[in-house]
């Protein structure tokens, strides 16, 4: 649980650059307000509007952007650096290869998510699907090329690809698995954890897709799931004295936030007289 290598590398890049001079991140570096607030405290500016940039250096977020957006940034600002996760870069390359091969691009993910906007920004014709209705509404084509937003649950992705085969049995459907390994690992660990617990606490930014997916996965295997951003969101009345409580966190959640939540949960147990509680991480 917690930071993946892509988030760690992105934060380290921005921190190093901020020590050398004023920098602006074009959007939220990662979808976690604790991380973005810490960067602001270091003097890092965050804006989605390129025209409002007043620093000589701009950094692209971990979620990546389209080639056209990157080119526009380089024409506008003297120095542009990419904190884009390498696994997001892989998704971009995979999609380009499918399009170059004559496949109609289909992206499994959330249409309005910044990563999906980056994947589709250079495409004239494409589809984004997230549920069965989206699949059944696809226009019939001879060839589909499918990739996924990197933080989608792989089980959902495979299910939707299988549904495409069912919906268009005569079409050629080529799927390139672009779900990142940290997402797969956390999803698998979340299932194992949730099956052992009475309640699972999931920590992550409100707009973090992988955290939302973790919470949804846990809810499939545990009746009670608590979704929070920081320890300040916790309430003792959410937990019973005999609960087994699980703790997990999204890929953009920093260790200090996780530690603070864990410590607060331990503090709750001290309020019980003679109570026994099992803790799983």
Q: Which residues are catalytic?
A: 115
* Nearest-angstrom CA–CA distance, 153 and 134: 17
DSSP SS3 for 26? strand
**Structure tokens given for 11:** 């934060």
Q: Is 182 within 8 Å of 152 (Cβ atoms)?
A: no
Compute how many other C-beta atoms are within 10 angstroms of the C-beta atom of residue 125. 10
- Which of 27, 21, 83, 30 has its CA nearest to residue 52? 27
SS3 content of the chain, % helix, strand, coil (to 5): 45, 20, 35
Q: State both tokens at 75.
A: 């024409």
CB atoms within 10 A of CB 236: 12
Structure tokens at 187: 């999803």
As a whole number of angstroms, the distance between CA 175 and CA 170 comes to 15
Q: Count Cβ atoms below 10 Å from residue 99 Cβ, excluding itself.
A: 16
Q: Which residues of 260-271 are buried (b: 16+ CB within 10 A; e: fewer)?
A: bbbebbeebbee
Cα–Cα distance, 259 to 70 (Å, whole number): 37
């Amino acid at each position: 649980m917690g930071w993946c290598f892509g988030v760690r590398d992105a934060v380290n890049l921005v921190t190093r650059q901020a020590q050398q001079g004023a920098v602006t991140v074009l959007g939220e570096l990662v979808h976690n307000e604790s991380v973005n607030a810490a960067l602001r405290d270091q003097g890092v500016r965050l804006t989605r509007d390129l025209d409002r940039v007043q620093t000589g250096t701009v950094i692209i977020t971990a979620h990546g952007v389209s080639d056209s957006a990157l080119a526009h940034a380089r024409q506008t600002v003297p120095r542009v650096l990419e904190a884009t996760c390498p696994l997001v870069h892989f998704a971009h390359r995979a999609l380009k290869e499918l399009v170059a091969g004559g496949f109609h691009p289909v992206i499994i993910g959330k249409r309005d998510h910044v990563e999906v906007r980056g994947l589709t920004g250079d495409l004239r014709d494409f589809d984004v699907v997230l549920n069965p209705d989206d699949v059944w509404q696809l226009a019939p084509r001879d060839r589909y090329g499918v990739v996924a937003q990197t933080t989608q649950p792989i089980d959902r992705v495979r299910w939707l690809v299988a549904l495409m085969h069912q919906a268009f049995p005569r079409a050629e459907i080529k799927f390139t698995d672009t779900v990142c390994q940290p997402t797969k690992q956390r999803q698998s660990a979340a299932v194992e954890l949730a099956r052992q617990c009475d309640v699972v606490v999931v920590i992550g930014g409100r707009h973090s897709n992988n955290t939302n997916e973790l919470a949804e996965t846990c809810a499939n295997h545990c009746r009670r799931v608590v979704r929070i951003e920081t320890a300040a969101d916790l309430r003792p009345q959410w937990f019973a004295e005999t609960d087994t409580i699980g703790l997990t966190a999204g890929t953009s959640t920093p260790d200090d936030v996780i530690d603070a939540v864990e410590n607060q949960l331990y503090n709750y147990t001290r309020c019980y007289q003679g109570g026994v509680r099992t803790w799983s991480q």
